[in-house]
Structure 1
Amino acid sequence: MQARFLRMLFSIESSATYFTSVSKWAFSSRMRSRNEYCWTPRIKREDGCLRLVMGLGTRAVDRGEGSDFCRFVPLGAPTLRPQADSRDIAKYCQRGVDVIDLESGKFTCVTLDKILEQGEPIPHLSKLVQVLQSGHLRDGFGEFLTLSPGEQPKITLEGIVKSDEFIGTMRWVLSSLESAFQCPVDVEFAFDGRKLHILQCRPQAIGGEEGPVTLPGEVSKDSTVLEVHSGLMRSVRIEGIKYAVYVSPSAYDELPSKEERVRVARLVGEINNRLPKRSFALIGPGRWGSNDVKLGVPVTYADILNTCLLVEVGHEKSGRLPELSYGTHFFQDLVESRIAYVPVFPGKSGSLLNEQLLEGRPNEAARILGGLSQYEGLEKVVRVIDLEAALGKAATLYIDSEHANKGILCSV
């Protein structure tokens, strides 16, 4: 019996549109010579990366309705993930599968459950899917999957990522094409189970689609919001940053209870919803999104999704620097939403945070929200700074992680 859906085993981000007549499972992909998201020193930028999804590659380009995620794979450490445990992995795994409906001839999105309901054997199913059971992910099935009560199938693509042969082949292909082009490359390919088909190969734009980032010349301290020389992920330039939403580390530390710190998170979320999208930087102490309120503000992704820049501030406490998350609490969200991330350690060599500007300028939070009656007592904790008024014009973020390893948020 012909399967209803045109079967695509898994794909990686693809901006090209292509058609295939295969009726068996196949692979397609996008990979890049330079990995812009190195969240740990174990990941090397020059090793490259993949973006994996089950189904057509369109889902890796457009997250679809709501939030969806691809499997991001650093080729030098393919099994390394920013998620801490199985529950986090399940939370940030792919939900919808883009396919072509062979009955209607139309492009559509279906759930994994819908695909499994067809009751047909799915080659390599165990490489694509794991089962979440009692907080743990398990393998151990073939081309069919029968679920017990309480079990949930999750698209993790773990079996693909653990294949030394597949990862080795991808690294060899990437290296060979980079040598031929004499520059970092951006590759789209398809794999039908036997042959690798290169669909497109082009020079990789470093620093975003606009190309390399040129850092500004000498910038005065008064015109600088922050400057860092380490811990940077991807090169990027973002203009038009009109506000800085700042959670004062000292004022946050002085809050007497967990409930008060949760109120801070809710206030940040209110401001996030009110300010224009991608018009503000979000700067705060420790780990954004931490479940431990002593380590950072316990926001959810919904509380920060409109920012263009997430900054974690590491102030020295009791003679030691706190360990920041380096974006791992929201890593998949930051990748998909193209939110920049910067860690800054005030007082440490190579780090500058203009606390005089952030603490000394008028707080615009009450004006933006129409009052702070619900958040009485937090006026000194959460501050909204009008950067246009403070600097004379909106700020620009420059990050060059490829060459200078420097990031600066300033007005020039």
Structure 2
Amino acid sequence: MAGQPTASLRYRQYHHLMPHRVREVLLVSSLYDAFILQEDGHLTEQVFLEYKSLALSSAPRFTHVRTGEEAIQALEKRRFDLVLVMPRLADTDLLEFGRRVKELRPGKPLVVLAFDNHELESLRSLNDSPYIDAVFSWNGNAAILLAIIKYIEDRENVDHDIEIADVRVILLVEDSIRFFSEYLADLYPEMMKQSQRLFSEGLNQLQKLMRMRTRPKVLAATHYESAIELIEKYRDNLIALITDAGFERAGRHEKDAGLRLTEWVRGRMPDLPILFQSANEEFAAPAHRLGARFLNKNSSSLLHEINQFLQNHLGFGDFVFRLPHGEEIARATDMRELEQIIETIPAESLEYHALRNHISNWLMARSEFETAARLRPRKVSDFKTIEDVRGHVLQALRELRRFEGEGIITDFSVDHFDIDSLFQRIGTGSLGGKARGLAFINLLMTSHPYRGMLGGMAAKIPQSFAIATDYFDQFLAENELHRFAFTCEDDAQINHRFLQSRLPARVMECLQIILDHLHCPLAVRSSSLLEDDMSHPFAGIYQTIMLANNSTNPMKRLMQLSNAVKLVYASTFHADAKAYIENTGHRIEQEKMAVVIERVVGQPYGGRFYPHFAGVAQSYNYYPIGPQKAEDGVAQLAFGLGRMVVEGGHTFRFSPRHPRVTPQFAVPTMFLKNSQNRFYSLDLSAGSDDGLGTGLGHIRSYPLSEAEADGTLARVASHYDPGVDAIVDGPDAAGPWVVTFNNILKYGAIPLDKALDELLALTSAGMSCAVEVEFACDLGDFGRRLPRGAVPRPPTLYPLQLRPIVTKSELTAVDTEEMNGDRVLCRSLSAMGHGSYPELRDIVYVKHGEFDPARSAEIARQVGAMNHRLYEEKRSYVLIGPGRWGSSDHWLGIPVTWSQISNAKIIIEASPASFTVDPSQGSHFFHNITSLGVGYFTIPPGADKATSAAGFVDWQWLDGHEAVAETEFLRHVRLSGPLTALVDGRKGIGVISRGVDAEKK
């Protein structure tokens, strides 16, 4: 059999595959972006395991720098195989940076990874730059990072590996950065799974290794000519073509270039599997005629169908403790078991292994090099007794465990529950945005010079457990929920179906272990892939469920916790979530849900459980007052649980750098009118699942007076004395309670202001942008008399959530100066959003005049109905009404949900003079609409065009036009020409003006 290589020759050929490997990656990004890439989704572990499974010598190492200049300096000193750069870098031009990299290191691969859909348009031109090798888009899935590494390796190795082992090639033709990224992030993991299956089917080790190493290479083209060039070059090795419909051909974008390419390929390769994908269904029939499979890009199961195409068409051990004569006496599968067994094994067994360096060898295999190096030089003869050896080994292992546990994400163990770990992961998928932010705060605070302290105040995250997104996928698959969840439009039906489904057995096992150790209230919170991003935060869109977790029946507690997890999963597919995702430009199929289970911060008071206060702090203040500056930040506090803040209820607003400046409460009677009069608490008497489906769980709202018996009000509240018309403090004060936080902010009983200021500075520096932090505070034993000798529990600040926010300084100039005169319909000097809002011809407004808050829920329903009709007509509109839009407290505004206003492009708060409400800066609703670019105008109460220089709505003009639709509370006006709507987000000015042809229709 001449010409056939021998087995040994093939084995040597296998070792020669992939000579160009990405071993050193230079990551150029902000600290927070680096945290996302290296921590979320176990990036380092994923890459290591992939390399280990492919028998490669070493996994890639990531070196992080924060600026372009630091990157150039690093490239001058060391060799890197890949430069991975994020666009969110201050003072760095990507093209100039790329030119300098290529000039310094010719041929060095440089990849740009965008975190924001808004960045993609400006980055599209980089695909044709000689200085940029590829542009990818991050969608929250850590698989994209593995895809980047493999894509660069495939491109560099394809020619060599074809010559050595005749490897196969898949060609992707796609000019959209977003779809290109999604496809590769899906293709590579699927090919890895296929390779793993083939590995298990191998008849011998050589065959197994060959199958693993010879997986298909993936190449990509962005226009017709480059696709033809690659097809001609790799024709004999091409096993599949995946092509878009429209891309450049002969220098022009042609919407049917993909059909031309498919036709050209069919004439030369009639049996080649081709996947043709487009958002235009008109290409389905011609694609089928050419023998290609057609997929609609807008399909809710696009990635699943790509996986089906691939499947259908593309064919270190335990530590064994022994006695000197060889008898096995124990076995350790992990570090904790190793430590536990060493504590008790006979001295002769420990001496046997210590003499042979078995322990240090086992540690080194697990990359614990420092600990191994610490143990290896010490010989048994260096110690007086074998017990001294035992102590030395145990001390090293315990220090290793403590060191590794600080600020990191610990993998949950069903065998060894780690009661000391603050953050544990269940599963191997992504943590999602909310959990990722919490883990990042944990990392920052443990890296802080004063660990566990912020501004002189104790601070830490609450103990948390994150169920990763892989179990969400498993839950949907095992219960066959995909099609139902994507298509069902009834939230109640979705909840019911999900509650009837079973969680994966492993998840149920982990939940039971958590409940065995935690007999305290729990919060079950959403943490989706897309959640808490700067451009689409999904704030308040998904469910958070609070559980008393105090039933005497263990099975009931497990049922409540598992049902809460299912309901968080279900909320991924609720109407509000689907409407919000549609506005972000993503597909519901892309969204995956992780779940965070947290200890609730607080203490029990009879039948209630709540923290002394909670709130939201932002490092950027959109509405500074008096001496406050925007960069000083702002915080909003509420007595009890933080639901009062995030749902837009009555709160106390202050700047951490000016804690005593509260001009909004300059007059004592304003406290009575505008301060908090109810609070949220967990109801410890809740003994059933009632309320879980509402998202409240066991949360209840109580009048402020009910907290008086709990002894908590005195620490955060004062009294209003009507006799002297003053706010008074002290044990002898009398009169109605008023939540003022005087004890904390005015008299400085605890350094909350300094702690929040330091927390905001720490997190905003880590994320390289402005941030918002949700938090809760338990005052411990502050203000209590304790028995002699008792150690008081200190007041502790608990960060709960972190998300980035956009600041005005990041916006470009917009000229609103020329928009004056009679045609101005609305002007606001407190406007959020930025840019122009074209093609707005519809205005929906609440009839002005006297507003009855008692009927605001009815108004919300009518707004929702009108929004639905305009959505069906594909018409965006301006929405005008009184109070805080989206507040859950109907006394403060109209309690619309996201799906009820999803088609509004500008929302205006315009209240009558008798209805005064502070801005809704800290609410989830407010954060969502502003981050999506929806314009948000605030008009002074009672303002009119004739007299107000601070802003107005031209009610006379609106009322003078015929309504195309009208209800008891609403009018809908439609214009024949578009409005001119501009917002200068830097100055906070918004103007809406009628065009010359904007007459009534």
Q: Name the TM tier (shorter chain).
A: 0.5 to 0.7
Aligned mates of 1:234, 1:84 — CA distance in 2: 26
Within the candidate set 672, 678, 690, 1:90 is matched to 672
Matches within 5 A, 1:57-96: 57-62=642-647, 68-78=649-659, 79-96=661-678
What is the aligned partner in structure 1 of residue 937 from structure 2?
A: 340
What is the aligned partner in structure 1 of residue 708 from structure 2?
A: 116
Aligned mates of 1:335, 1:190 — CA distance in 2: 14
Amino acid at match of 1:408: V
Aligned mates of 1:304, 1:57 — CA distance in 2: 19
- What is the Cα deviation at residue 168 of structure 1? 2.1
Q: Tell me whether 1:399 sits opposite 2:983 in the alignment.
A: yes
Aligned mates of 1:197, 1:352 — CA distance in 2: 39
- The question of whether the paired residues in 1 share the 8 Å contact of 2:601 and 2:778 is answered with no
What is the aligned partner in structure 1 of residue 478 from structure 2?
A: none
Amino acid at match of 1:330: V
Within the candidate set 744, 747, 751, 1:160 is matched to 744
- What is the Cα deviation at residue 50 of structure 1? 0.9
The structure, 1 or 2, with the larger RCO (C-alpha pairs under 8 Å, 6+ apart) is 1
What is the aligned partner in structure 2 of residue 373 from structure 1?
A: none
- The question of whether the paired residues in 1 share the 8 Å contact of 2:776 and 2:799 is answered with yes
| Local SS of the residue matching 2:679 | strand
Q: Tell me whether 1:242 sits opposite 2:842 in the alignment.
A: yes
Aligned mates of 2:892, 2:617 — CA distance in 1: 31
Aligned mates of 2:938, 2:629 — CA distance in 1: 17
- What is the Cα deviation at residue 167 of structure 1? 1.0
Once the two structures are superposed, residues 98-125 of structure 1 have per-residue CA deviations (whole angstroms, 9 ceiling, x without a partner) of 111233363222222222245xx43xx4
Q: Tell me whether 1:132 sits opposite 2:132 in the alignment.
A: no
- The question of whether the paired residues in 1 share the 8 Å contact of 2:716 and 2:739 is answered with yes
Aligned mates of 1:361, 1:111 — CA distance in 2: 40
Q: Tell me whether 1:184 sits opposite 2:770 in the alignment.
A: yes
- The question of whether the paired residues in 2 share the 8 Å contact of 1:34 and 1:45 is answered with yes
Aligned mates of 1:199, 1:246 — CA distance in 2: 37
- The question of whether the paired residues in 2 share the 8 Å contact of 1:224 and 1:408 is answered with no
Within the candidate set 40, 43, 48, 2:628 is matched to 43
Distance 1:397 1:61, change over 3 A: farther
Amino acid at match of 1:409: I
Aligned mates of 1:217, 1:111 — CA distance in 2: 46
Q: Tell me whether 1:201 sits opposite 2:201 in the alignment.
A: no
Amino acid at match of 1:19: R
- The question of whether the paired residues in 2 share the 8 Å contact of 1:73 and 1:161 is answered with no
What is the aligned partner in structure 2 of residue 100 from structure 1?
A: 682
Once the two structures are superposed, residues 47-98 of structure 1 have per-residue CA deviations (whole angstroms, 9 ceiling, x without a partner) of 11111111111121225xxxx4111223343332324511121111112211
| Local SS of the residue matching 1:340 | strand
Aligned mates of 1:267, 1:199 — CA distance in 2: 36
- What is the Cα deviation at residue 184 of structure 1? 0.4
- The question of whether the paired residues in 2 share the 8 Å contact of 1:31 and 1:50 is answered with yes
Matches within 5 A, 1:266-345: 266=850, 276=863, 280-281=879-880, 308-310=907-909, 329-331=916-918, 340-342=937-939
| Local SS of the residue matching 1:31 | strand
Amino acid at match of 2:619: S
Distance 1:140 1:221, change over 3 A: closer
| Local SS of the residue matching 1:75 | coil
Aligned mates of 1:50, 1:29 — CA distance in 2: 7
Amino acid at match of 1:309: I
Aligned mates of 1:205, 1:369 — CA distance in 2: 37
| Local SS of the residue matching 1:174 | helix
- The question of whether the paired residues in 2 share the 8 Å contact of 1:99 and 1:110 is answered with yes
| Local SS of the residue matching 1:330 | coil
Within the candidate set 830, 845, 854, 1:232 is matched to 830
- What is the Cα deviation at residue 218 of structure 1? 11
| Local SS of the residue matching 1:82 | helix
| Local SS of the residue matching 1:391 | coil
Amino acid at match of 1:141: P
Distance 1:222 1:88, change over 3 A: closer
Once the two structures are superposed, residues 194-242 of structure 1 have per-residue CA deviations (whole angstroms, 9 ceiling, x without a partner) of 34333332212458xxx979969999889963586x9435446889683
| Local SS of the residue matching 2:599 | coil
Which structure: greater strand fraction? 1
- Identity, % of aligned pairs? 16
Aligned mates of 1:29, 1:76 — CA distance in 2: 16
Once the two structures are superposed, residues 344-380 of structure 1 have per-residue CA deviations (whole angstroms, 9 ceiling, x without a partner) of 9989xx999998x965994448x9589xxxxxxxxxx
| Local SS of the residue matching 2:707 | helix
Amino acid at match of 1:157: F
Once the two structures are superposed, residues 133-180 of structure 1 have per-residue CA deviations (whole angstroms, 9 ceiling, x without a partner) of 2143221128xx8x5xxx322223233332553212211221122122
Distance 1:93 1:41, change over 3 A: closer
Amino acid at match of 2:730: G
- The question of whether the paired residues in 2 share the 8 Å contact of 1:56 and 1:99 is answered with yes
Aligned mates of 2:950, 2:603 — CA distance in 1: 55
| Local SS of the residue matching 1:126 | helix
- The question of whether the paired residues in 2 share the 8 Å contact of 1:177 and 1:185 is answered with yes
Distance 1:111 1:212, change over 3 A: farther
What is the aligned partner in structure 1 of residue 620 from structure 2?
A: 34
Aligned mates of 1:397, 1:176 — CA distance in 2: 37
- The question of whether the paired residues in 2 share the 8 Å contact of 1:244 and 1:280 is answered with yes
Distance 1:369 1:94, change over 3 A: same
Aligned mates of 2:893, 2:771 — CA distance in 1: 32
Aligned mates of 2:842, 2:777 — CA distance in 1: 46
Aligned mates of 2:757, 2:601 — CA distance in 1: 28
Q: Tell me whether 1:23 sits opposite 2:603 in the alignment.
A: yes
- What is the Cα deviation at residue 31 of structure 1? 0.9
Amino acid at match of 2:656: L
Distance 1:110 1:361, change over 3 A: closer
- What is the Cα deviation at residue 244 of structure 1? 8.2
- What is the Cα deviation at residue 281 of structure 1? 4.0
Distance 1:137 1:45, change over 3 A: same
Which structure: greater helix fraction? 2
Matches within 5 A, 1:3-14: none
Amino acid at match of 2:620: R
- The question of whether the paired residues in 1 share the 8 Å contact of 2:813 and 2:984 is answered with yes
Distance 1:231 1:102, change over 3 A: same
Please provide the CA RMSD for this pair. 5.4
Instruction: Between 191-200 and 177-186, report the one with greater CA deviation.
Output: 191-200
| Local SS of the residue matching 1:331 | coil
Q: Unpaired segments of 5 or more residues in structure 1?
A: 7-13, 248-263, 289-300, 313-324, 371-383
Distance 1:244 1:218, change over 3 A: farther
Aligned mates of 1:334, 1:181 — CA distance in 2: 21
- What is the Cα deviation at residue 26 of structure 1? 4.9
Aligned mates of 2:757, 2:972 — CA distance in 1: 46
Distance 1:216 1:226, change over 3 A: farther
Q: Count matched residues.
A: 320
Distance 1:30 1:136, change over 3 A: same
Amino acid at match of 2:623: Y
